[in-house]
Structure 1
């Protein structure tokens, strides 16, 4: 059993709960061995190996005390010498997987068995009682929303319609950076990348980057106060998604008690996101369904609102649309921003990689025009860099949890119905069993032959690392996610020469507990193109 030190800064209600749990566990110490599964010769009826647990609470006391939590799973699996483990959290089986072979079995061979989501308070709140696609259970609602999103929202027709909107923000990105150069400002790459992802998402979703009429962006591309508040609430909501919080496993006992503040936090931030989203949606629903609409469909909201079934009934209700918009907001921004920061940091750490990326841009695009989305299929080395960043610097330790819909098996072990399935992204991408020199940043490992014989894609279907996911619960926005990511990196590299800001210090690739760079990357730039190629900001 693995023990971690307890922090002294715990909220008072949580201290009471912790004392209760530890007391109960101590009283029942003599019965611990009773919680061990009975060994049988038939391994298919055995749970995966796991640490010994307390009666009733299982491994929950250790989880509560672990800081940071992901290390608890890593150390336990290392001690058990297993690539699949079973943890018991107050009766919930949490299955953690570090093997690409078992991950493929789960999400390719047995994908239907693990297509559910857990019914947790945070997910229920974000999805407005499980109305959105990614959070809803595997069933009619999930099928309906996925069909609409796959065939309409993420269709080639709709994404092509939104090329102009995305191009405006790609231009605005360059205009913003150029204006910062002219003022000799330090660039916080994390802040800049998140602002870009936010602006693109708002353009595609609502047809505008300004979510309120009273608060607009400055004339150089900076986000206004309302936009910053909206973006902050989006990230705070994202951080409320399941992350092995003890509250996720004690809901049936303590729901409504606001254990560790998680319930209040998700309600507060989700409501704040909705306070910006919903007025736009209500106004647009009224326009289309009561006033005859506009001359044409122009964005994702328009597309959702106007869809009808074969009987002429609207396919998506306003409440479903509002829930899906929250999900789109929290799903679209963090991945490109995280990938961008780590990729540029690795390039600055490895100048030869940066040189190769610039050479590819100069050959494919040149210096007489700005790189466009139509160039992306030919930028294989740049996409290989993005893949390598996904492999070694994922945006989270685990993918969102799946749930077993029925009793089944994985890796030859028995997996009970209702088990939570967690694939460890960092362990896959950095596994020496899968990758040679796994801690070395080497984009070439993702190229085929000379790098031009086959187009590089960012999704990894063989589960050797996790980019956008795969299977029934895989990301349906791979195309738009790839576009946002690659065009941001390509524009940055083509238009500017980057170097560390003098006040940043030595470049360290150390990561924090959330897998972000421990220190936000601070840079300075110089233009790389002719002055006439730098666009003006368009609000």
Structure 2
């Protein structure tokens, strides 16, 4: 943070919080005569007024610090008070199920945050909106009209085109460079898919003949990932709202930049489409059918025949759909490929399955997914060992509750740890080893990417869980299967091992995965 040392920052923060709390105390009456409550989960001793905020500021990234503290204390549930907010991280599957299943109704809200408010258009959407009527309305829209089996089938051809474009793009990189940046490739495949589903286009402009992104698509995907990284990133003003606007940790600028990119690229398309469907009588009278999810959002009607969603809601929800689709599949596949290239016997086994199920005279299709147990086991193992983020999207307690014998105060933020669940040594044998076979029970049992018992998180569960598991599964498996089927992968020259270190700031690979690739199928299968 420019202009402040950490110490000065802490002193300023404490002074502001003390002043804020003194004002509150002046107006509030103390509550007396209450019985002694159950204990809170264990946690570090908080500072007066500011709680663990100074520790949070000195121990970046915060997620790793929290999990390190829990590991040192051998705690499956903990409590970190930041300001007046109790942050409750969880690393045990049984306790996680208590929050997300058994008492789901109590913990079905979301926290108010600077970034969530900005990206959701003031909580006009589904995933990040606190519990209330707006959330109910938008969730009904998604479950009945957007993310449903009929709509998934309807959009099949668009996904298939992007799977073909993936093969084309990688093939062209092989021909020109001999190497492929798999982080770039996987992220842009996911960006292409979701743009095609929402906007019915891969490119914002004219595009490129080789299937790769232009500068607009590069900026779009970068903005999506930056937005996700900052969505619930322990921003200081989220716990001390009176600091909003000071941007003490620089988060607000990043959020503004992302929203500016989204508006620049999304709004011309959406405004034109709204004009077409709602104001152009010829489109309606000609009985034109919707072509993508944006058309569906715009055409929805209420009981009086009026547009169900405002233009603002359409724009916010379209952005949220895009944000929700890009990070999980691309991260899992990049990690899976890194692990498998390091251990060629795993790649060989995956190729043998593809040869057996699909053969070498056609490209793998979505209809093959149920039979690709080993490919799906590799994806599951990547979700388990290499999650996209330390924690799931936070839940908020709507009332006081008791979980695992501890008091959970109303307003607490519940952070189910993706990393803590997936690497829990009490749940997983050799938790730090990539072992796809651990997910295969027998040849007769189909492997799925969902994990109902919360031993790890691929797609979350409960009323605030992921409702697009089918789309996420399809994108992940098709991405991984097409890469493995279409190309032989190996390490770059003079590299004996892929570096599997994690980035310091997040859980992605420390360095993008750049590897050798050679086409291995008949030439006519590579789209020209």
Instruction: Tell me the matched-pair count.
Output: 507
1:233 aligned onto 2:223: yes
1:270 aligns with 2:262: no
Q: 2:102 aligned with 1:109, yes or no?
A: yes
Establish whether residue 320 from structure 1 lines up as the match of residue 310 from structure 2: no
- Residue-by-residue CA offset, 1:179-235 (whole Å, 9 max, x unaligned): 111223421100011111111111000001112xxx322100111111212222222
State the Cα distance separating 1:70 from its structure 2 match.
Answer: 2.2
Q: CA deviation at 1:43?
A: 9.4
Q: Does 1:81 align with 2:68?
A: no
1:164 CA displacement: 1.0
User: Pick from 499, 503, 507: which aligns with 1:508?
Assistant: 499
Deviation, structure 1 residue 50: 1.1
SS of the equivalent of 1:45 reads coil
Question: Alignment partner of 1:12: what SS?
Answer: coil
Aligned residue in 2 for 1:60: 53
Q: Distance in 1 between the 2:45 and 2:163 partners?
A: 53
Structure 2 residue 335 is matched with structure 1 residue 346: no
Q: What is the match of residue 176 of structure 2?
A: 183
Deviations 1:2-32 (A, max 9, x none): xxxxxxxx32257543332467999xxxxxx
Deviation at 1:133, TM superposition (A): 0.3
Deviation per residue, 1:467-514 (Å, 9 max, x gap): 110101111111111111100111111111111122656312111131
Give the aligned partner of residue 454 of structure 2. 463
Q: 1:24 to 1:334 in 2, by over 3 A?
A: closer
**C-alpha displacement of 1:243:** 1.9
Instruction: Return the alpha-carbon distance in structure 2 between the equivalents of residues 274 and 436 of structure 1.
Output: 47
Q: Which of the residues 488, 491, 516 maps onto 2:482?
A: 491
User: Cα distance, 1:310 vs. partner?
Assistant: 3.0
Residue 533 of structure 1 and its aligned partner are, at CA, apart by: 1.1
Pairing partner for 1:528 from 505, 520, 524: 520
Structure 1 stretches lacking a partner, 5+ long: 1-9, 27-41
Shift of the alpha carbon at 1:309?
2.7
Q: Is the 2:190–2:325 Cα contact (8 Å) retained in structure 1?
A: yes
* Equivalent of residue 389 in structure 2, options 386, 396, 400: 396
1:178 Cα deviation after fit:
1.1
The CA deviation string for residues 81-100 of structure 1, in whole angstroms up to 9 with x for no partner, is 32111111111110111111
Query: Which position in structure 2 is the counterpart of 1:416?
Result: 409
Q: Map of 1:233-272 to 2, 5 A cutoff? A: 233-251=223-241, 253-272=242-261
Task: Judge which range, 16-25 or 397-406, deviates more.
Answer: 16-25
Task: Find the residue that maps to 2:128 and give its secondary structure.
Answer: coil
Alpha-carbon distance change, 342 to 193 in structure 1, aligned in 2, over 3 angstroms: same
- Cα offset, 1:410, TM superposition: 1.3
Question: 1:259: how far off?
Answer: 1.8
Distance across 2 between alignment mates of 1:114 and 1:449: 36
Contact 2:14 2:50 in 1 (8 A): no
The residue number in structure 2 matching 1:6 is none
SS at match of 2:489: strand
Question: What secondary structure sits across from 2:197 in the alignment?
Answer: helix
1:454 is matched with 445
Aligned 8 A contact 1:69 1:244 in 2 = yes
Listed one character per residue, the Cα deviations across residues 131-186 of structure 1 (whole Å, up to 9, x for unaligned) are: 01001111211111111111111122211121111111111111111111122342
Write the distance in 1 (CA, Å) between the matches of 2:491 and 2:288: 48
Match of 1:29 in 2: none
Does the 8 A contact of 2:178 with 2:517 survive in 1? no
Match in the other structure for 2:32 = none
Contact 1:43 1:412 in 2 (8 A): no
> CA shift at 1:454, angstroms?
2.2
2:26 is aligned to none
| Equivalent-residue separation in structure 1 for 2:258 and 2:524 (angstroms) | 42
What is the alpha-carbon distance in structure 2 between the residues aligned to residue 58 and residue 181 of structure 1?
54
Rounded to whole Å, the distance in 1 between the matches of 2:168 and 2:145 is 32
Tell me the equivalent position of 1:37. none
SS in 2 for 1:399: coil
Structure 2 gap segments, 5+ residues each: 19-34
Does the 8 Å contact 1:116/1:137 carry over to 2? Answer: yes
What SS is found at the alignment partner of 2:167? helix
Cα distance in 2 for residues equivalent to 1:183 and 1:400: 41
What's the offset of the Cα at 1:441? 1.2
Which of 210, 214, 237 in structure 2 is aligned with 1:220?
210
For 2:289, the equivalent position in structure 1 comes to 296
The SS at the match of 1:159 is: helix
2:136, 2:222 → 1: CA distance? 31
Q: How far 1:60 moved relative to its partner?
A: 1.0
The CA distance in 2 between the partners of 1:205 and 1:14, in whole Å, is 45
The TM-score, its normalising length taken from structure 1, stands at 0.91
Q: 1:44, CA displacement in angstroms?
A: 6.6
Verify the 8 A CA contact 1:48 1:85 in the aligned structure 2: yes
